């Protein structure tokens, strides 16, 4: 459904889990990462969350988060959803909970967020062999090994 306003992306973050306070609606992002370390490939990441914040539009939009290998464009994961923004000043948060994500080989992947077939935001995700731990930044990244995807929560 095409809208006259395209939402503006404020954040696109990967993390281990997201905790939402039922009384206030506040979200706590736990274990933010931009790289995954694995012993062997293909590897399966057991659980990850993608957090997205949007603003600057009004309407109901189809949306999708897609992660592709940088060269082959092979899709590691994708999850579709919908978002409603009632007022352009409103900030809407989306949570995608993904389990069993398979990465075929170590390399750079691109996480893309698309609204109504329009790319809004993207960021790299580095998938590395365990032997690479500590070469970039000590202690960062998340472990990988064993399986689906889900629509966003907003």
The CATH code of the domain that includes 104 is 2.60.40.10
In a domain, 39, yes or no: yes
The 10s digit of each residue's pLDDT in 77-116 is 999 999 999 999 999 999 999 999 999 999 999 999 999 9
Q: What's the angle, vertex CA 130, arms to CA 127 and CA 131, rounded to 5?
A: 115
In a domain, 60, yes or no: yes
In a domain, 153, yes or no: no
In a domain, 154, yes or no: no
In a domain, 150, yes or no: no
In a domain, 2, yes or no: no
Say which residue, 143 or 80, is predicted with more confidence: 80
In a domain, 68, yes or no: yes
Query: What radius of gyration do the chain's Cα atoms show?
Result: 16
**The dihedral sign for the CA sequence 31, 96, 77, 43:** positive
In this prediction, residue 138 carries a pLDDT of 39
In a domain, 149, yes or no: no
Average pLDDT, the chain: 87
Mean pLDDT value of segment 38-45: 94
Mean pLDDT value of segment 112-122: 96
Mean pLDDT value of segment 104-132: 93
Main-chain dihedrals φ then ψ at residue 57, nearest 5 degrees: -150, 175
Give the chain's domain count: 1
Contact between residue 29 and residue 53 where contact means Cβ atoms under 8 Å apart: no
Domain that residue 113 falls in? 8-143
Cα separation, 81 vs 152, in Å, equals 6
In this prediction, residue 139 carries a pLDDT of 40
Question: pTM higher than 0.85 for the full model?
Answer: no
In this prediction, residue 72 carries a pLDDT of 83
């Amino acid at each position: 459904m095409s809208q006259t306003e395209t939402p503006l992306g404020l954040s696109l973050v990967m993390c281990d889990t997201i905790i939402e306070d039922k009384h206030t609606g506040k979200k706590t992002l736990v274990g933010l990462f931009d790289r995954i370390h694995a012993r062997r490939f293909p590897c399966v990441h057991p659980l990850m969350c993608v957090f997205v914040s949007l603003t600057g539009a009004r309407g109901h939009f189809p949306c999708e988060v897609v992660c592709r290998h940088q060269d082959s464009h092979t899709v590691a994961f994708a999850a579709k959803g919908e978002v409603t923004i009632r007022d352009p000043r409103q900030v809407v948060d989306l949570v995608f909970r993904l389990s069993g994500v398979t990465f075929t080989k170590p390399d750079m992947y691109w996480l893309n967020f698309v609204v109504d077939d329009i790319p809004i935001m993207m960021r790299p995700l580095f998938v590395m062999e365990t032997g690479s731990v500590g070469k970039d930044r000590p202690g960062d990244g998340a472990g990988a090994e064993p399986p689906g995807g889900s629509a966003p929560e907003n």
